[in-house]
Chains A and B, each alone.
Chain A
Amino acid sequence: MLHVDNLTVCYGQMQALRGVSMEVSPGEMVALIGGNGAGKTTLLNTISGLVPPAAGTLSWEGRPLNSLSPDRICREGIVQVPEGRKLFPAMTVEENLIMGAYLPTVRKQRQESLRKVYDIFPRLADRRRQLAGSLSGGEQQMAALGRALMARPRLLMLDEPSLGLSPKAAVEIFATIRRLNKEGLSVLLVSQEVLETLAITVHGYVLENGVVAMKGPSAELREDPQVKMSYLGL
C-alpha cells in the first residue's frame, strides 16, 4: 500500500533521513521505533507532504506521492495525528472534529463521521462545546484521534499518541488504535512505548540516526538483544 524507497531528507546541511526504505501493507499495523532525533517524525512529515524529500521515492498504491501537497496527500486517505496532538486550542472540540472533515471528499459525510467518533469516544460528546485547549491530555489525544478519523483515513499515522498521558489514558488510546486496526484500518505507529508498540504491531522498523537499523516481525524485534538493551532497558 505505502512504499518508501531509499528516502533521504535534509534540513539545510543536516541529513535527517538517509536512504530509508519501508512499507505498510493493507490492514497492517506497523511500528516505527527509535530514540529522540532518530528521524521518526521527519519520516511521517515527509509522507504527509510537509517536508520535501531530497532523494528517494514515496508511492501509494503504485502511484508516486512525491511532490504532492499535504492537502492532496490527505485526500488520498493518508492521515497523520501529529506529535503533541496539535489541536486548534481556541476552537471547540466539535469544531476541531469538523475541521478533520475539511476536504470536500469527506465533508458530505461529516454528520455520520461525527456520530462514529462520538460512539468511539463518548467523552468527546460530553465535551463537544468545550475549547480544545481546556481538555486533559487524554481527552486531547482522543480529540486528535477523532479529528483524524473524521478525514476517513485508509492509512492512519500516529506520532507518539501516548506521550504525556497518564498510564490509564495511554492504555485506553492503545486499545482504541488496536480496535481500529482490527476493523481494517492500516496503521503506522510511532511510539517510545516500545514494549507496548511491539506487542500490538505485526511489523516493526527501528530508526537510528536517520537510517533503518533493524526491521522485522515485531515479535522478533522484542526478543532482539540489541532492542532489549537500547529500548527496553533489559
Chain B
Amino acid sequence: MDAVLIIQSLISGIMMGMVYALLSVGFSLTWGVMHVIHISHAAFGLLGAYLAYSLLEYFGMDPVVSAAVSVPLLFIVACGVYQLLIKPITKAKEVIVASMILTFGLAIILENVMVLIWKADPRVLTPTYASGALIVGPFYFQYPHLVGFGLSIVGITAIYLFLKKTYTGMAVRAAWQQPEAAQLYGVNLYRISMITFALAVSTAGAGGISLALLNSFEPHSHNLWLIYLFLVVIVGGVGNVIGTAIAGLLIGVITGLAMAFLPYQWVNLVTFGLLMIFLIFRPHGLFKQGV
C-alpha cells in the first residue's frame, strides 16, 4: 500500500475526528449532566452551518468571523428552547425517553425549516481561500480543512477550560456528580441545566460550521451526523470531554482510512459496525464517564 496515501488519510482522519469531537462534546454534556439525549443536537449544528453559509453568501463574512455571530445567537435560541420545551420534560419520570421523543420531533421541524429556507440542494462553504492548499512535501492540506480543524481545537479547548476553570463550569460538573449536594451549596439546577444545554447547542453550531468547511451538507445531513455523535459519545464515555476528543480522533482516523481503502458504500458499514460492537462489548466506552 502507498505510504503517502496512508499518512494523508490518517491526517484527514485526525482533522475530521477533531470536528466530530467538537460536534459531540455538547451532546455528551447534555446527556451526562441533564440526562437529556438531545436528538436535534446535530440539526442545530446544521443550522450553524447554514447560518455560516448565508452570512458568507450575502455579507461575505468569513465562516470563522460569522461563528462569532451565529454561536452566541444559537446560545440565545437554545435558552429559549430549554425554557419552552426541555425544562418541562426534565420533571418527567423517564427523562431520557421523553427527551429523545421530544427532540426527535424538534429535529424533524428544524430539518423542514431548513428545507424551506435553504432548499434541499447540497451546499458547500466557499470562503475566499476555498481552493487554496498548504503543500508539505507529498502531502496537501486544503485551507478550509485546516480552518475547520483549527476551529474545532479552539472549541474543544474552550469547553474544557470552561468546565475546569470557571465557577459555572465547576457547578456543571458538581451538578452531574452529586446534584443534591450541589443544590445544598447554592447551585440552581435549572439555571445550570439551561447553561449546559445552551452551551451544548452553541458548540454544536461551531462544530457544524467546522464540518461544513470539510464536507458538503444538506437539510437531512444531521441524521448521519447523529450516528457519529452517538458513536463518539459511547466510545468516549458520556460527559467526558477528553474522552470525547480522543474518541472523535479515533473514529475520524478509522473512517478516514476506511474512506481511502474501502469502497464508499462500506464506510457507513464500518461505523455502524463499530457502534454495534461497542454497544455489545463496551457500552460504557473506552474511558470513564464523567464531567
Contacts and interface: CB of A to CB of B under 8 A. Distances in A.
Contact of B185 (A74, A90, A91): A74
A79 B188 CA distance: 15
B170 A147 contact: no
Contact of A103 (B174, B185, B290, B291): B185
B184 A70 contact: yes
Interface string B72-90: 0000000000000000000
Contacts of A151: 185-186
Contacts of B167: 98, 102, 107
A220 interface: no
B174 A82 contact: no
Interface stretch (B93-101, B143-151, B175-183): B175-183
B177 A88 contact: yes
Contacts of B181: 82, 86-88
A95 B177 CA distance: 13
A71 B173 contact: no
Contacts of A50: 180, 183-184
B171 interface: yes
Contacts of B177: 88-91
B187 interface: yes
B15 to A, nearest CB: 30
Nearest to A45: B180
A151 to B, nearest CB: 6
Contacts of B171: 99, 102
Contacts of A98: 167, 170
Contact of B186 (A82, A89, A90, A103): A103
B84 to A, nearest CB: 21
A147 B173 CA distance: 16
Interface in B154-199: 167, 170-171, 173-174, 177-178, 180-188
A87 B183 CA distance: 12
Nearest to B289: A90
B184 A99 contact: no
A79 B184 CA distance: 7
A103 B171 CA distance: 11
Nearest to B290: A90
Given A88-B173, A90-B291, A91-B173, A99 B185 contact: yes
A75 B186 CA distance: 7
Contacts of A75: 186
A99 B188 contact: no
B183 A70 contact: yes
B185 A100 contact: yes
B174 A88 contact: yes
Contact of A102 (B180, B187, B290, B291): B187
A69 interface: yes
A87 B174 CA distance: 9
Contacts of B170: 91, 95, 98-99, 102
B47 to A, nearest CB: 33
A160 to B, nearest CB: 15
A69 B167 CA distance: 20
A150 to B, nearest CB: 8
Interface of A: 48, 50, 69-71, 74-75, 79-80, 82, 86-91, 95, 98-100, 102-103, 107, 147, 151
Interface of B: 167, 170-171, 173-174, 177-178, 180-188, 290-291
Closest 4 CB pairs of A and B: A86-B181, A103-B186, A71-B186, A70-B183
